[in-house]
Structures are given as structure tokens and as C-alpha cells.
């Protein structure tokens, strides 16, 4: 079951089926070739054995005929000329008739006389030798030297074993056959025959039949595999079409989901902008109520900043990726300390009751250089960080320390916002796969989970400060207790 479950993780394509069928056909061809060679080897071995056996049988038949004829001659040696001619003719037929056979190359009777070898293949010479009419027998013929050497080596064995011996000649299909010649039980020598039996036509017929059967077998297998291939390719085509429709439907739903997420993100930006603007509009209304001749310049300056901040918030709501020149440039000359003081006095300390809830301690470096950045961009970065210290501290009275320091050697401004609360939860300070702390990701908040539209202030601050301005923003817990935001600004 585990093996099948593993195969379920893989998806076969048309190219995989093609490779499998191609491999099967190649293996089948290789198997057919191997079987053919094996059959050919078997047929040749069988042919060699049969050639040797048939040659020995043929030679044995000739030798037996000579022995029978010789036996009949020795029973009656008083022969007239007519009987001699008849006997000579019989010997010639037995010795020379096999030469008419296309497979017989040499035939001779090798007689071992002790002082030498007599090689006879003529009826008259054989009769003279048998009648011992010529003491100096000279009528011999020349035969294969290898046959003479073999006979001399085996002459003792012929006498002792009286067995038929056969040896391959220079040609693999030729055999040198030696059949002991023992008329009436008296060893005289051996009948020598060089026979080249040819049964290659049988091998050719067998191989030809096998090739026909193999071709038919391969054709049937190929047709079957081809049919399976077309069926499989059609099934894969149907599957691919179904998958294509599924992917198109999935793509459609995915696009719809993206649109919904965009709409949700836009709604969140609207809510965030509305939340910020609503508070500032309340301050504008209060300023208009207390407006008189004495404070008109101060209120005018303050309302102008409020209005510009609302305008910036609405602008960021419409433009998710605002142009660079609206963020920073040489036309901007902003003092960070002035923005911090304005936010503390005119945003966070506007209500009288806030003094009993939280308190600000400002330690600002008077030697800060001006920054080439839109002051309302700084406002958007700093305001949610301070607001987050107020919201998550958990202390009865939150004390927020804000410090600035300029390092002209490194050309950096260090801004720290620290509270005396319980600090950050360890989970929001963990790094994600991009090396960013979870606190600065969207939808991650230190507030209660039941609150909606949470986890957006720190995300916006990080996005503007780090991704758009190229600064550094970090959050951690101090050793004394409490949360710390540290903003490092390049100038």
C-alpha cells in the first residue's frame, strides 16, 4: 500500500508513456535478437553433432561391407579369373561408390603391415594384398598427411579398443573418420574417410522459420503496444484538457481572491486613513471654536499642519506606491525635533485627561541636521509607533521616553521611543523567512485579537521607513522592562 501511495505523488505525462513504450519495443527487439542467436548457436551445435554421427554411421557401413566381402573371399581363395574380376568390381564399388556422394572427399583403406602403411582405394590392389601375390606392394595412393599422423598415433588404440574415432579437419564442417578394419576378427588396419556432411539447409530453415514467427510475434506486440499507446495518449489528452479547465477555473478563482484581497487592503487603508483623519478633524474643530484675534496665528499654523497631514493620509490611501519625489528631495528641509514636539503637544497631549494616563519625557539633541524628507512622511512613521507604546504598555501610567541623537561621523540620526510597560510578546519579535520581525508584518498586532483592523500601524511605519526611505527600524524589549522602537535615519 505504501508503494502505491508513493506512485500517487507522481503524474505521468505523454512523454513518460512514450519513453515507456519505446523502451519496451527496444527491449523486445533485443530479446528477439538474443533468442535468435541462442537458437542459432543451438542449431549449429546440434548440426555439428548430427554431422559427426551421420559421418561415423556412413563410414561404419562402408567398413562393414568391406569386412563382409573380405570374409566371403577368404573362405574360398581358389578363384578363377572371372571370379577375381567380379570380386575386384565389388571392392571398387564399395571403395569408390561413396566418392560419388557430394559429402565424401576421401576414402581409403589404411593397412598397418608393421614395416609401413599401405593406403589402398582400388579393388585390384586390395585383392592382390589379400591374396598376398605381391610381396613388395607398391600400388598405394597419397592421402591427407594429418590422417596418417592420426592413424599412427591411434594404431595401438585401434587394436585394443576397436572403436570408431573421428576428428575435425581444418574445415569445421569436415571430419576425419577412422573405422577399425577387422575381417573375421583379425585386425588389419582402418577404413579412413574424409566426410563433409552439409546440413546447413536445416539450420537455415529453422532460423528462417524462427524469423518469420519472431517477425509475426513482434508485429503483434508492436500493434498491441501501439494500440495501448494511442489509448494512453488519448486518456492523457483528456486528462490534460480536464486539468487545463481546472487550472483555468482555479486561475479565475485565484484572480477573484486577489481582487477581494485588494479590496480588503483598500478598505483597511480607508479605515486607517479615516481613523487618523477623524482624530485630527476633531482637533481642527476645537481650534476653530477657540479661535480669536490673539491666537489666530498659532491656530492657523496648527490647522495648516493638521490639514496637510490629512491630505497626506488621503494621498497615501489612493497611491499605494507613491512617487519618490513626494517622499524625499532637496526641496524638503525638516527638523525632526520640531515634528516630535508638535506630535507630543498638539496630537497626544491635546486632551487634559491624557496627562493622568501617559506622560512624555523628551531628550532631544539640539544639533540635529535638517532632513530632506517630507515632514508628513516622518509624521506617518513616528505617530503609529508612539500610539502603539500607549496602547500595548499595560501600565497604570505609561511613561514614554523619546530621545534623539546625531552621529555626524556615521551620518546617522538615532531616534528611540521607549515605554515603561510590559514589553513585546516574544512571538512578535521572531524573524520570518525574510529576516523581518513578525511585529512589522501586516495583520500582526500587540492589541487584543478581537479588535478588527489591527496590525496596520507598525506595518505602515516599517514599509515607509525601510522599504521606501532605506532607513532601519527595529523593535525590542529593554533590559529595564518596556518596549523600545529604534529608528536609524541616514542624512
Which CATH number does the domain housing residue 435 bear? Answer: 3.30.565.10
Q: What integer pLDDT is reported at residue 52 of this predicted model?
A: 73
Give the total number of structural domains in the chain.
2
Beta strand segments in 94-188, E: 104-112, 117-120, 165-168, 175-181
Measure the CA–CA gap between 182 and 328, rounded to whole angstroms: 128
Q: Which residues in 116-141 are b (16+ Cβ under 10 Å) and which e?
A: ebbbbbbbbbbbbbbeeeeeebeebe
Q: What is the mean pLDDT of residues 350-368?
A: 80
Which residues have a Cβ under 8 Å from the Cβ of 202 and sit 6 or more positions away?
Answer: 43, 47
Q: What integer pLDDT is reported at residue 487 of this predicted model?
A: 95
Q: What integer pLDDT is reported at residue 135 of this predicted model?
A: 42
Measure the CA–CA gap between 58 and 387, rounded to whole angstroms: 121
Within a domain: residue 269?
A: no
Measure the CA–CA gap between 97 and 91, rounded to whole angstroms: 10
If you count DSSP H runs as helices and E runs as strands, how many of each does the chain have, helices first?
A: 10, 10
User: Which of 379, 380, 306, 390 lies closest to 355 in space, CA to CA?
Assistant: 390
Q: What integer pLDDT is reported at residue 380 of this predicted model?
A: 85
Q: Is the predicted pLDDT of residue 395 greater than 80, yes or no?
A: no
Within a domain: residue 336?
A: yes
As given in the structure block, the three cell numbers for residue 73 are 573371399
Domain containing residue 380: 330-490
Within a domain: residue 27?
A: yes
CB 387 within 8 A of CB 343: no
Helical segments of 106-199, H only: 123-131, 145-161
Measure the CA–CA gap between 354 and 348, rounded to whole angstroms: 8
Q: Is the predicted pLDDT of residue 153 greater than 60, yes or no?
A: yes
Q: What integer pLDDT is reported at residue 318 of this predicted model?
A: 65
CB 418 within 8 A of CB 478: yes
CB 381 within 8 A of CB 467: no
Helical segments of 290-362, H only: 296-318, 336-343
Q: Is the predicted pLDDT of residue 2 greater than 60, yes or no?
A: no
Within a domain: residue 354?
A: yes
Whether residue 173 is found in the same domain as residue 32: yes
Grouping H, G, I as helix, E, B as strand and the rest as coil, residue 190 is strand
Within a domain: residue 222?
A: no
Express each pLDDT in 159-182 by its tens digit: 777 788 878 776 656 778 888 887
Domain boundary at 198, 220, 253, which? 198
As given in the structure block, the three cell numbers for residue 291 are 479661535
Within a domain: residue 174?
A: yes
Domain boundary at 173, 198, 223, which? 198
Which residues have a Cβ under 8 Å from the Cβ of 476 and sit 6 or more positions away?
Answer: 424, 429, 483, 484, 486
Within a domain: residue 156?
A: yes
Q: Is the predicted pLDDT of residue 415 greater than 90, yes or no?
A: yes
Express each pLDDT in 70-85 by its tens digit: 776 655 556 677 877 8
User: Which of 65, 70, 147 lies closest to 106 in space, CA to CA?
Assistant: 147
Measure the CA–CA gap between 112 and 437, rounded to whole angstroms: 114
Within a domain: residue 59?
A: yes
Output the CA angle 324-328-333, nearest 5 degrees.
160
Q: Is the predicted pLDDT of residue 281 greater than 80, yes or no?
A: yes
Measure the CA–CA gap between 270 and 299, rounded to whole angstroms: 28
**What's the mean per-residue pLDDT of the chain?**
78
Q: Cα–Cα distances in Å, from 385 out to 61, 142, 378, 450, 478?
A: 121, 124, 11, 21, 16
Domain boundary at 134, 166, 198, which? 198
Q: What is the mean pLDDT of residues 426-449?
A: 77
Q: What integer pLDDT is reported at residue 449 of this predicted model?
A: 45
Measure the CA–CA gap between 311 and 171, rounded to whole angstroms: 111
The full length of the chain comes to: 491
Q: Is the predicted pLDDT of residue 450 greater than 50, yes or no?
A: no
Confidence of residue 421 (pLDDT cuts 50, 70, 90): confident
pTM exceeding the 0.75 threshold for the entire prediction: no
Confidence of residue 329 (pLDDT cuts 50, 70, 90): confident
Amino acid at each position: 500500500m505504501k508503494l502505491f501511495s508513493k506512485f500517487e505523488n507522481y503524474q505521468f505525462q505523454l512523454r513518460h508513456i512514450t519513453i515507456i513504450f519505446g523502451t519496451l519495443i527496444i527491449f523486445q527487439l533485443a530479446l528477439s535478437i538474443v533468442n535468435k542467436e541462442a537458437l542459432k548457436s543451438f542449431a549449429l551445435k546440434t548440426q555439428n553433432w548430427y554431422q559427426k554421427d551421420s559421418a561415423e554411421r556412413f563410414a561404419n557401413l562402408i567398413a562393414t561391407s568391406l569386412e563382409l566381402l573380405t570374409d566371403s573371399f577368404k573362405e574360398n581363395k581358389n578363384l578363377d579369373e572371372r571370379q577375381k574380376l567380379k570380386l575386384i568390381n565389388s571392392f571398387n564399388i564399395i571403395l569408390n561408390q561413396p566418392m560419388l556422394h557430394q559429402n565424401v572427399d576421401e576414402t581409403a583403406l589404411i593397412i598397418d603391415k608393421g614395416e609401413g602403411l599401405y593406403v589402398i582405394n582400388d579393388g585390384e590392389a586390395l585383392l592382390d594384398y589379400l591374396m598376398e601375390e605381391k610381396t613388395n606392394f607398391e600400388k598405394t595412393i597419397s592421402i591427407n598427411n594429418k590422417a596418417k599422423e592420426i592413424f599412427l598415433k591411434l594404431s595401438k588404440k585401434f587394436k585394443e579398443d576397436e572403436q570408431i574415432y573421428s576428428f575435425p579437419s581444418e574445415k569445421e564442417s569436415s571430419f576425419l573418420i577412422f573405422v577399425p578394419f577387422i575381417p573375421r576378427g583379425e585386425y588389419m588396419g582402418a577404413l579412413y574417410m574424409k566426410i563433409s556432411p552439409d546440413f546447413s539447409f536445416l539450420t537455415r530453415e529453422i532460423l528462417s522459420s524462427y524469423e518469420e514467427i519472431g517477425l509475426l510475434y513482434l508485429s503483434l506486440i508492436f500493434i498491441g503496444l501501439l494500440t495501448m499507446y494511442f489509448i494512453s495518449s488519448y486518456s492523457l489528452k483528456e486528462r490534460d484538457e480536464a486539468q487545463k479547465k481546472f487550472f483555468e477555473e482555479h486561475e479565475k478563482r485565484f484572480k477573484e481572491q486577489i481582487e477581494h484581497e485588494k479590496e480588503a487592503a483598500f478598505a483597511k487603508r480607508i479605515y486607517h486613513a479615516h481613523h487618523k483623519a477623524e482624530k485630527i478633524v476633531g482637533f481642527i474643530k476645537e481650534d476653530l471654536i477657540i479661535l480669536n484675534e490673539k491666537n489666530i496665528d498659532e491656530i492657523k499654523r496648527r490647522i495648516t499642519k493638521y490639514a496637510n497631514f490629512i491630505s497626506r493620509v488621503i494621498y497615501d490611501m489612493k497611491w499605494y506606491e507613491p512617487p519618490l519625489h513626494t517622499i524625499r528631495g532637496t526641496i524638503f528641509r525638516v527638523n525632526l525635533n520640531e515634528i516630535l514636539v508638535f506630535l507630543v503637544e498638539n496630537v497626544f497631549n491635546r486632551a487634559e485627561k491624557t496627562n493622568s494616563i501617559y506622560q512624555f519625557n523628551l531628550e532631544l539633541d539640539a544639533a540635529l541636521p535638517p532632513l530632506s524628507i517630507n515632514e508628513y512622511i516622518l509624521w506617518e512613521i513616528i505617530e503609529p509607533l508612539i500610539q502603539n507604546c500607549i496602547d500595548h504598555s499595560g501600565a497604570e501610567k505609561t511613561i514614554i521616553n523619546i530621545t534623539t541623537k546625531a552621529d555626524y561621523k556615521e551620518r546617522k540620526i538615532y531616534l528611540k521611543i521607549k515605554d515603561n510597560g510590559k514589553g513585546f510578546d516574544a512571538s512578535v519579535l521572531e524573524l520570518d523567512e525574510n529576516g523581518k520581525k513578525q511585529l512589522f508584518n501586516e495583520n500582526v498586532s500587540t492589541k487584543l485579537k478581537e479588535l478588527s483592523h489591527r496590525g496596520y500601524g507598525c506595518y505602515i511605519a516599517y514599509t515607509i521607513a525601510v522599504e521606501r526611505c532605506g532607513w532601519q527600524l527595529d523593535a525590542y524589549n529593554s533590559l529595564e522592562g518596556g518596549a523600545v522602537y529604534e529608528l536609524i535615519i541616514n542624512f
